[in-house]
Amino acid sequence: MGRLDGKCAVILGAASKDNMGQVMARRFVAEGAKVLVAGRNEDILQDISVEIGGHYALCDITNREQVFALAASAVEKMGKVDIAINSTGWGLLKPFLENTEEDLEKMTKLQYIGPFFFYQAMLEVMGKGGSLIQISSATAKIMLNDHAAYMGTKAGTDHVIRCIAHEFGEKGIRANSISPGLTDTPMTAAAKETPGIFEAFDKGYPLGRINTSEDIAAAAVWLSSDECYMTGENLQVNGGLCLRGNPTSKDIQESVAKHMQS
Known catalytic residues? 150
- Whether the Cβ atoms of residue 72 and residue 46 lie closer than 8 Å to each other: no
Q: Residue 253, exposed/middle/buried by CB under 10 A (0-12, 13-18, 19+)?
A: middle
H and E: helices and strands count for the chain? 11, 9
- Whether the Cβ atoms of residue 223 and residue 230 lie closer than 8 Å to each other: yes
CA 25/CA 70 separation, integer angstroms: 16
DSSP assignment letter at 129: -
Which run of H or of E encompasses 8? strand 8-12
Q: Which residues of 23-61 are buried (b: 16+ CB within 10 A; e: fewer)?
A: bbbbbbbebebbbbbbbbeeebbeebbeebebbbbebbb
CA 22/CA 46 separation, integer angstroms: 12
